[in-house]
A and B are shown apart, each in its own frame.
Chain A
Amino acid sequence: MTVSPTPLSPASLEVGGLAYAYPDGHQALFGVDLTIGRGERVALLGPNGAGKTTLVLHLNGILTGGAGTVTVAGLPVGKRHMAEIRRKVGIVFQDPDDQLFMPTVREDVAFGPAAAGVKGPELEARVHKALAQVGMADFADRPPHHLSFGQRRRVAVATVLVMEPEILVLDEPSSNLDPASRRELADILRSLDVTVLMVTHDLPYALELCPRSVILSEGVIAADGTTGDLLADEDLMRAHRLELPFGFDPKSVKV
């Protein structure tokens, strides 16, 4: 299921000493170090205001200008490779209505590759493949606002998969999903052969999907380990305002 990072290929993501303060002076990140190997699925956990979104926006160069470095598959994030970086880092935002801005599903999925210059039958083929990966191929000609929330979230994943990214970054993928849609999305994510960084408050979901978790708290990585171990460490969890749902015991779950 999980490919352990091989020393030969560069890691999908390397963040070193990343610090960032917003223009208003509020400092969100205080030196983040994080390495994610190719093919890993990692959950990024942390309370509200820990700097998770700030970190995510650094991964594809939306935010820059702080201290430290971000490297995606050996390529430093910076002005020089911006187009390449944005192709390699696929971010799925929390609200699919923000992510899906074109009049039809097909055009929305085609947006990224078309912006990169892909045309004609190759574009069609890639759009179809990405929609098929998330089980939405039959909805290609629908406008996004006629889909259910779960379907929209899956299309949002397809809009990013179509770029064939090095790393898929999901911001709260399970939010607002009913249990069936939640499981469908989990099945899809498991079936993909791509590095995943999943930002979430949904701890059971992290345990289900991600063998490894990191806790971001007050702008630094406070813990890094197997998801099961982290969730079972009650003191650690309490220290970072992370709480499991009522009646959920991570030790009783077989992954």
Chain B
Amino acid sequence: MGAGHAHKLYRHGHSPVHGLPPHTKLAAVFCFVIVVVSTPREAMWAFALYAVLLAAVAYAARVPAGFLLKRLLIEIPFVAFAVLMPFVAQGERVDVLGMSLSVNGLWGAWNVLAKGTLGVAASVLLASTTELRELLLGLQRLRLPPLLVQIASFMIRYGDVITDEMRRMKIARESRGFEASGVKHWGVLAKSAGALFIRSYERGERVHLAMVSRGYAGSMPVIDDVSASRAQWSYALTLPCAALVVCLLGWLL
């Protein structure tokens, strides 16, 4: 696979993490997130240890810290909510820098922030070491309903086609002197969206025709079956297992 046609989150490489079968990575990230979420929020050191674990994975995957941190910014809109919590939550209050904050709210904010950041970081690591196509194969392997996998795979295939169609319609509108500048133009935009929907629907019918012509009978044939050895599974599951130990310690101590 060359450059230029991988998705933006993916970072090309040949690290041991890149080489793992996709379904083991998916399972590992999923378990890791579950473990992180079930950790008591008071065990702050546990979250630090989780971060260290992720840093170790990033190191093994040769994903530079800057790359990872930049992609973590996607979290910001969700974090904004967490920042509000100390101000609005009820209960016992403390004074910080002259502001009266709720203790409960502070713990809540910390909880959302820490768990959210760790979850996003794990997902970013997964996305930067696994290609979209592989992710789909992994999901298929993990027995996700085949219809969902098919829909996702069509989304990847036709996303660009439909975006391109949208762009051409926009150019056609603008070439005839249209510029969306206010509410009164929303009608035109809504009609364009409707036209795009109908075109996509018709394309769907043509695609289905082409599929039926080539022997499609309701289920996608399995072309690439991914399988993982015991060693690959244990390597991938090192992360959630280590996290589980930390989590148990967090509950016990």
- Which residues does A use to contact B, with CB under 8 Å? 57, 60, 62, 83, 86-87, 89, 91, 93, 95, 97-104, 107, 110-112, 114-116, 123, 141-146, 159-160, 163
Contacts and interface: CB of A to CB of B under 8 A. Distances in A.
23 contacts: A60-B213, A62-B209, A86-B212, A86-B213, A89-B213, A93-B206, A93-B213, A95-B206, A97-B158, A98-B206, A101-B210, A102-B153, A102-B157, A103-B133, A103-B136, A103-B153, A107-B223, A111-B216, A115-B214, A115-B221, A141-B1, A143-B5, A145-B157
Given A93-B206, A103-B153, A123-B223, A86 B1 contact: no
Contact of B212 (A62, A159, A163): A62
Interface residues on B, range: 20 to 34
A16 to B, nearest CB: 22
B214 A145 contact: no
Contacts of B213: 60, 62, 86, 89, 91, 93
Most buried by A among B154, B157, B215, B224: B215
Contact of A98 (B207, B216, B217): B207
A57 B211 CA distance: 13
B109 to A, nearest CB: 41
A115 B217 contact: yes
Contacts of A145: 157, 160-161
Given A107-B224, A115-B221, A101 B136 contact: no
A114 B157 contact: no
Interface in B45-76: none
A114 B211 contact: no
A103 B214 contact: no
Contacts of A86: 212-215
Please give me the 10 A-B residue pairs with the lowest Cβ-Cβ distance, nearest first: A114-B221, A115-B215, A112-B214, A98-B206, A115-B221, A146-B5, A145-B160, A110-B223, A99-B210, A114-B223
A97 B207 CA distance: 8
B209 to A, nearest CB: 6
B88 to A, nearest CB: 45
Contacts of B136: 103
B7 to A, nearest CB: 10
B203 interface: yes
Contacts of A100: 157
B148 interface: no
A144 B223 contact: no
Interface string B205-249: 011011111111100011110000000000000000000000000
Given A111-B221, A123-B223, A97 B203 contact: yes
B169 to A, nearest CB: 16
Contacts of B211: 101, 111
